[in-house]
Structure 1
């Protein structure tokens, strides 16, 4: 969530390890505030976390905070956070500096790095774990970051696809044609009254659930060459199978994204889940924000849950009147209460 930093002064005199800036190399300064929902729980349980995305308007760069479990395996007293560029542009050797602070934590953390297309991360090391864990689960952790960027950074659009990428695109088209024309298929996928002809090797390659199903020669599905999918609409199964072959979902809509997220969770298809999360992130509004929050919680997508939380906190009065919020109250009243309580605490802290 982008916001001006209120009530906290991000110190510039503590840049002890950074050379002075007499020629005003860093001419662009941006301040962001992330209110991270259940972040202390993520740290305590050593799960991965990605924040919502904010954008620096003048230089067209988008930023995200990441907590990576694997990078924190050997540290009990501190955590490492990554400030990542998430952008549609390619970056050429952009040097920047940044500082991070957490309320009630005496330390301020600094970093300098050179970003490039091959190295889009900056590290905030040795962030106090106790400062994060001291925040209760129903209260968000506020993290403030100031980013100082050169006055004239070197950014430019990504280059056109290479011949190798074009060849890869044709390969995908040929694979998709195998599915559409049922060529050399060896398994039937049945959803309701609809039957889809597919290929075991493709299903096994895209889904660990299908892989286990076909690797065990004793399963009914492998012996009968038939997979019956229950409690899932044929349109959803078709979209999932098309994704297996084409790596994309045509004409994706919000309601279909919910159901595909469920399918991706059931059959362990991480790439499909990522497509749905990205789509819902980009199409959130006051009518569907509560439902997106509900699905983010249900399928353990911290990124989707955080994005919805930030949006709801900003548009609370409209969201609580929406049909989506009423449905969430009926489906999971505990979650609805926890959401409102956390937002109230956040608003009071501002």
Structure 2
């Protein structure tokens, strides 16, 4: 008996999806064939689109995505079909927005982990914005803690001048005060 693994079968389906596809994902000028059952199984947003007969996406068998880059949509579909993303580190900032929009919690967690791994003083301000918009409280707290530690050490403060949101600045300040209070400094 030849061993079949669901992930490998779905990966094959991803590569040869034209044959059995029943929906097209439209991104820019590209029509990407896909399968409603897999999209709906992985995403409550897609499930909602396909569940209701009067939704345009269900009637036309088309889902138009105008606010996400094609490369990111391809990576999102790779995740939906295989539970993996080969170039996650390169696309995590775009994928976290897609994961948020299409309710893909595992992909969101994977993106948060990749973003945390790449966090540095140069990208911390933009990471803070991403964490605030799309991230979990854990991701947001991690980025705030990182920035607070950088401020405390006087490290690369010029990179944080981009942070304009007073609520986020207050949270960074509160994190610094809380850390100082807990260490007695």
Q: Smaller-chain TM-score range? A: 0.7 to 0.9
Q: Conserved in 2, the CA contact under 8 Å of 1:261 and 1:276?
A: yes
Structure with the greater alpha carbon radius of gyration: 1
Q: CA deviation at 1:345?
A: 2.1
1:304 aligns to what? 139
1:217 aligns to what? 53
Q: Conserved in 2, the CA contact under 8 Å of 1:289 and 1:319?
A: no
Residue of structure 2 aligned with 1:240, choices 46, 59, 76: 76
1:201 aligns to what? 37
1:321 aligns to what? 158
- Give the Cα–Cα distance (whole angstroms) in 2 for the partners of residues 271 and 304 of structure 1: 14
Give the CA RMSD over aligned residues.
1.9
Q: CA deviation at 1:197?
A: 0.5
- Give the Cα–Cα distance (whole angstroms) in 1 for the partners of residues 174 and 143 of structure 2: 13
- Give the Cα–Cα distance (whole angstroms) in 1 for the partners of residues 137 and 42 of structure 2: 23
TM-score (norm 1): 0.47
Q: CA deviation at 1:245?
A: 0.4
TM-score (norm 2): 0.86
Q: CA deviation at 1:335?
A: 3.3
1:230 aligns with 2:66: yes
- Give the Cα–Cα distance (whole angstroms) in 1 for the partners of residues 113 and 158 of structure 2: 25
Q: Conserved in 2, the CA contact under 8 Å of 1:190 and 1:228?
A: yes
Q: Conserved in 1, the CA contact under 8 Å of 2:24 and 2:33?
A: yes
- Give the Cα–Cα distance (whole angstroms) in 2 for the partners of residues 294 and 341 of structure 1: 16
1:273 aligns with 2:117: no
2:173 aligns to what? 341
- Give the Cα–Cα distance (whole angstroms) in 2 for the partners of residues 191 and 285 of structure 1: 32
Which protein has the bigger strand share? 1
1:61 aligns to what? none
Q: Deviations over 1:220-242 (max 9, x none)?
A: 11111111011111111111011
